[in-house]
Amino acid sequence: MGDISQIKALVFDVFGTVVDWRTSIIQELEAFGAQKGISADWAAFTDDWRALYQPSMEEVRAGRRPWTILDVLHRESLEKLLTKYGIDGLSEEEKDHINKVWHRLKPWPDSVPGLHRLKARYLIGTLSNGNIGLLAWMAKNAGLPWDVILGAEPARAYKPLPEAYLRTAKILGLRPEQMMLVAAHNDDLAAAAAQGYATAFVARPTEYGPHQTKDLKAEREWDVVTDSFLGLAEALGCP
Amino acid sequence: MGDISQIKALVFDVFGTVVDWRTSIIQELEAFGAQKGISADWAAFTDDWRALYQPSMEEVRAGRRPWTILDVLHRESLEKLLTKYGIDGLSEEEKDHINKVWHRLKPWPDSVPGLHRLKARYLIGTLSNGNIGLLAWMAKNAGLPWDVILGAEPARAYKPLPEAYLRTAKILGLRPEQMMLVAAHNDDLAAAAAQGYATAFVARPTEYGPHQTKDLKAEREWDVVTDSFLGLAEALGCP
């Protein structure tokens, strides 16, 4: 491990690292479908929704469209999927409710107790591509005790652009070396490390369900490698 | 009181409403002066610092200078005051430490217990002209349990510009009618009400010290009028 004594803030990737988006969405969609009499392969629907995530942000990252928050990108992707799956007749209110399932994702079992331990020693915040409203309501729903909600929207840059990491540190008045990114994704950690951040890999081997093929383990010697936020708290000496 | 059943988020003015900036700064500067052997009228110094607050923001509001965060405006004002009071020889590190006294302001006695009660029912956040870093570190120092830190920096507009209120609601995905501004300042509440916000006036009659002449009482029939966050919690039915 590098010199972690200078770290003042821990910032977290959220989707997959803090919350189990896949299980949460499948369960909500199954319940919604049962209630409305709509049958579909909701696991496939959920995986398809997530598969549209990177391409939708890439339009913004590449400068082909102006800054657009993730709630809007999610909604556009949802419209495509409703067409693909032949689901019609939903009201605007119903579609808005479905889209906001991303505001209601459930944390992994260790997330909330681990964050409380880490919060006692560090400033803890998000560094997510989710927009501020999405992350704030998710935290309210799930009891995630963030000190501050940061990420793509205040930085006006989607990860893994360097600005997402650099501006987040600057907003807190810190140097990158005083920041640690916590993520379940090797590519996110690589991008943060390239900007000077310390790094913690938390393995989430079921994020993508039973057929997950990537991020099953750390691909580099990150400053911390663990499989839960409790392990991270141990590694950082947070009782 | 208007229809408060639709309110989903309470957002707070911070300087004066949540924290007692004047007493906090005078005490720190007196201790700093005693330690460094610098004598000055620290109460006057503090009042002068605050007096430069509105003019410094007005340069940004009026478009005469690009977006600049409050930490930077405070630092520029501090330099002017050090010259005015004939204080020289401070290191950059010492000036930075003094400037960050705004990150270490103490809450009024009712602020933390009141916020915990309000947080159980509402999403609570800042709507301050302070920048995100300033407000996040202040919250960490003072134990202010914000769900989200919003205000001038994410809105890119200093209060009382309408955009400060409108963009803050939009970031949360809410209509202004679903927001309540809590403030000790009638002019801030008037600006928020003009954009559709519900309003709560919390009297802080010693904010400006013994000679305070304004905001001693509510100047309009705000939705709630009280003198503490506990009174606000009562008025909103938060046990």
DSSP string, A93-148: HHHHHHHGGGGSPPBPTTHHHHHHHHHTTSEEEEEESS-HHHHHHHHHHHT---SE
Q: Which amino acid is at B213?
A: T
A212 and A139 in one domain? yes
Chain A CB within 8 Å of residue B123 CB: yes
Last residue of a domain, one of B43, B69, B103: B103
Pair type for strands A123-128 and A224-226 = unpaired
A-interface mutation test, from B171, B175, B178, B179, most A Cβ less than 10 A away: B171
Question: Same domain, yes or no, for B175 and B124?
Answer: yes
Whole-angstrom distance between the N-terminal and C-terminal Cα of chain A?
19
Shared-domain flag, residues A206 and A135: yes
Res B211: pLDDT: 85
pLDDT band at A2 (very low <50, low <70, confident <90, very high): low
Q: Domain for residue A158, yes or no?
A: yes
Shortest Cα distance, chain A CAs vs residue B129, angstroms: 14
Task: Say whether both B117 and B220 belong to one domain.
Answer: yes
Do the beta carbons of residue B56 and residue B77 sit within 8 Å?
yes
Give domain status of residue B29, yes or no: yes
Question: Is there a single domain that holds both residue A14 and residue A54?
Answer: no
* E strands present in chain A: 9-12, 123-128, 148-151, 179-183, 198-202, 224-226
Enumerate residues 6+ apart whose C-beta is below 8 A from A52.
Answer: A77, A80, A81
Q: Is residue A4 part of a domain?
A: no
Yes or no: say if B130 and B53 are a contact pair by the CB < 8 Å rule. no
Q: Do B228 and B121 fall into the same domain?
A: yes
> Is the domain of B31 the same as that of B70?
yes
Mean pLDDT, residues A78-98: 97
Under an 8 A CB cutoff, do B147 and A154 touch? no
Kindly determine whether residue B71 and residue A173, on different chains, have CB atoms separated by under 8 Å. yes
- Is the pTM value of this prediction over 0.95? yes
Residue A210, in any domain of the structure:
yes
For B142, the enclosing helix (H) or strand (E) is helix B132-142
Classify residue B176: in a domain, yes or no.
yes
Type of residue at A118: L
Residue with tokens 């020693």: A121
* Domain finish residue from A80, A103, A126: A103
Question: Is residue B2, in this structure, part of any structural domain at all?
Answer: no
What CATH number should be reported for the domain holding residue B163?
3.40.50.1000
Domain count, chain B: 2
Angle made by CA atoms A113, A138, A171, in degrees to the nearest 5:
85
A137 HSE (CA, 13 A, CB side)? 17
Residues spanned by the domain of B201: 9-20+105-235
What gap in Å lies between CA A212 and CA B155, rounded to an integer? 39
Q: What is the mean pLDDT of chain B?
A: 97
Query: Region A206-219: what's the mean pLDDT?
Result: 95
| CATH number for B44 | 1.10.150.240
Q: By the CB < 8 Å criterion, does A172 face chain B?
A: yes
**In this structure, are B28 and B128 located in the same domain?**
no
Pair B151, B192: CB distance under 8 Å: no
Where among B82, B103, B124 does a domain terminate? Answer: B103
Tell me, yes or no, whether A140 and A80 share the same domain: no
How far is Cα A131 from Cα A108, in angstroms, rounded to an integer? 20
Is residue A38 situated within a structural domain?
yes
Q: Which residues of chain B have pLDDT under 50?
A: 1
Same-domain check for residues B126 and B88 = no
Q: What is the ipTM of this complex?
A: 0.96
The 10s digit of each residue's pLDDT in A132-147 is 999 999 999 999 999 9
| Residue A50 clears pLDDT 80, i.e. is over it | yes
The answer to whether position A1 is within a domain reads no
pLDDT at B202: 98
- On whether both A152 and A196 belong to a single domain, the answer is yes
Indicate if A113 and A152 belong to the same structural domain: yes
